[in-house]
């Protein structure tokens, strides 16, 4: 069964960038691209004319998005779908049947002016497949995929996705373990030696898990680095020279585990390349 990549389209520049990213992703996988625009229904007989206007707008959005996708490759298999309903719920349904869902980091959200940032937060970590959030079309490539990896179950799934992405792209993989010091460490230096010991032990544990995973992907050039710092700051800095940053949907980094809400949300705002958020259930089609 061929891969299916779904791209959400709303007519905004970030959404068109997401469509272009999704087109290249489908090409790398040898699969097909499905472009979806969700229109929210107008209720009431006096609003039927507006309903018709929004339908025409949706068709126009899909036509433009399809043209953008086909410009990447005329041989790409592309289908479009105009859906009606709640944006998040409809895209969740689409994601459940796809290998990945690609959306813009912000947008118009259709004729009703919904901010796609809220849509991305409503989808990331809450669907069965990876959600890839794109801000803009990259100006070039770096042949590098970065993944936040702390050895947890969610991070293992994110790492597997990152290995697959790196292999498809012919890129190298950099696994980053960002470790936040406990908050009390700023108040006293009495525990600094102990904190260093815990950091070294956990970093070594994570590195050993990474080495075992890398053995399953011998063709991917990869490295593991440990850094003391907030995961959002560290990964955002790494995103400057990366084509994709991958994180799990939950905790990342440290004795004081950062949640998807802080890491994922922070990366959506600060990363300079597309961000993939992968849930622990996203094991198929990688």
pLDDT digits (tens, 9 = 90+) for 236-268: 999 999 999 999 876 544 433 343 446 777 787
Span 122-150, pLDDT tens digits: 676 667 789 999 988 888 899 999 999 99
Listed in sequence order, the DSSP H helices in the chain are: 13-29, 48-72, 87-96, 116-123, 153-169, 192-214, 231-238, 260-270
Q: Would you say residue 191 has pLDDT above 60?
A: yes
Quick one: pLDDT band at residue 52, thresholds 50, 70, 90?
Answer: confident
- pTM for the model stands at 0.86
pLDDT in tens, 208-225: 999 999 999 999 999 999
What's the CATH fold of domain 4-134? Rossmann fold (3.40.50)
pLDDT: which is higher, 258 or 152: 152
CATH of domain 144-278: 3.40.50.12370
Tell me if domain 4-134 and domain 144-278 are identical in fold.
Answer: yes
CA dist list (Å): 66 to 16, 207, 208: 10, 43, 45
pLDDT band at 54 (very low <50, low <70, confident <90, very high): confident
**More confident: 111 or 44:** 44
CB 7 within 8 A of CB 33: yes
Domain-by-domain residue ranges, the chain?
A: 4-134, 144-278
């Amino acid at each position: 069964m061929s891969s299916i990549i779904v791209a959400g389209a709303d007519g905004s520049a970030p959404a068109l960038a997401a469509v272009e990213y999704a087109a290249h992703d489908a090409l790398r996988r040898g699969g097909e691209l499905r472009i979806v625009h969700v229109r929210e229904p107008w209720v009431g007989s006096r609003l039927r004319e507006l309903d018709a206007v929004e339908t025409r707008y949706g068709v126009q959005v899909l036509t433009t998005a399809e043209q953008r996708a086909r410009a990447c490759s005329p041989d790409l298999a592309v289908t479009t779908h105009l859906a009606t309903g709640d944006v998040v719920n409809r895209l969740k349904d689409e994601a459940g049947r796809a290998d990945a869902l690609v959306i813009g980091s912000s947008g118009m959200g259709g004729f009703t002016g919904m901010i796609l940032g809220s849509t991305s937060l409503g989808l990331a970590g809450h669907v069965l497949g990876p959600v890839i959030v794109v801000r803009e079309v990259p100006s070039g490539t770096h042949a590098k995929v970065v993944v936040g990896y702390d050895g947890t179950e969610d991070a293992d799934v994110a790492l597997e996705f990152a290995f697959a992405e790196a292999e498809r792209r012919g890129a190298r993989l950099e696994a980053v373990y960002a470790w936040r010091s406990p908050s009390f460490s700023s108040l006293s230096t009495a525990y600094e030696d102990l904190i260093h010991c815990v950091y070294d032990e956990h970093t070594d544990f994570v590195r050993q898990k990474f080495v075992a995973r890398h053995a399953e992907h011998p063709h991917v050039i990869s490295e593991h680095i440990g850094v003391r710092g907030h995961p959002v700051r560290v990964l955002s800095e790494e995103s400057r020279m990366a084509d994709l940053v991958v994180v799990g949907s939950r905790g990342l980094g440290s004795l004081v585990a950062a949640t998807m809400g802080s890491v994922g949300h922070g990366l959506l705002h600060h990363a300079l390349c597309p961000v993939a958020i992968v849930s622990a259930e996203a094991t198929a089609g990688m």
